[in-house]
Amino acid sequence: MSDGTDAHRTPAPDPAGPSLHHPVQPDPDRLAAASSTFGMLADPTRLHLLWLLTTGEFDVTALTEAVGASRTAVSQHLAKLRFTGLVETRRDGRRVIYRIRDGHMTRLIGEAINLADHKITGEPAHE
């Protein structure tokens, strides 16, 4: 049943490829999904893992060394990130390789770190 607006309708796929901008009103489902994503970013270790994954694919051993946490902790964080769909895996022999699932997440992580850099360094805000 339509409410007479197109505010919640998903746009048709662009033949040139997926859009980087989705001009839709944030309805309760979209707000809940976005809040869930931000909740996953609220942990510094998970954010560090995601930031690393913006630069390429890694296995658990490399990620553990890079973040300086225990293998158990890193594995638990990666399981949460995988369960929520923020990362995906592939097998390479016996190793499991992790990667960011979506370009939107890569850009969101980059913007979060850029914003943090502004806060830490005092660099002026920009549009």
Cβ neighbours of 91 (radius 10 Å): 8
Which residue's structure tokens are 């309760």?
Answer: 28
Q: Where are the domains of the chain?
A: 43-121
Q: Which two tokens stand for residue 17?
A: 């490829």
Q: How far apart are CA 22 and CA 12, in angstroms?
A: 11
Domain 43-121: which topology?
Arc Repressor Mutant, subunit A (1.10.10)
Instruction: Give per-residue pLDDT as tens, 40-64.
Output: 999 999 999 999 999 999 999 999 9
Residues contacting residue 52 through CB under 8 Å, at least 6 positions apart = 58, 63, 66, 67
pLDDT band for position 23 (cuts 50, 70, 90): confident
pTM of the model: 0.80
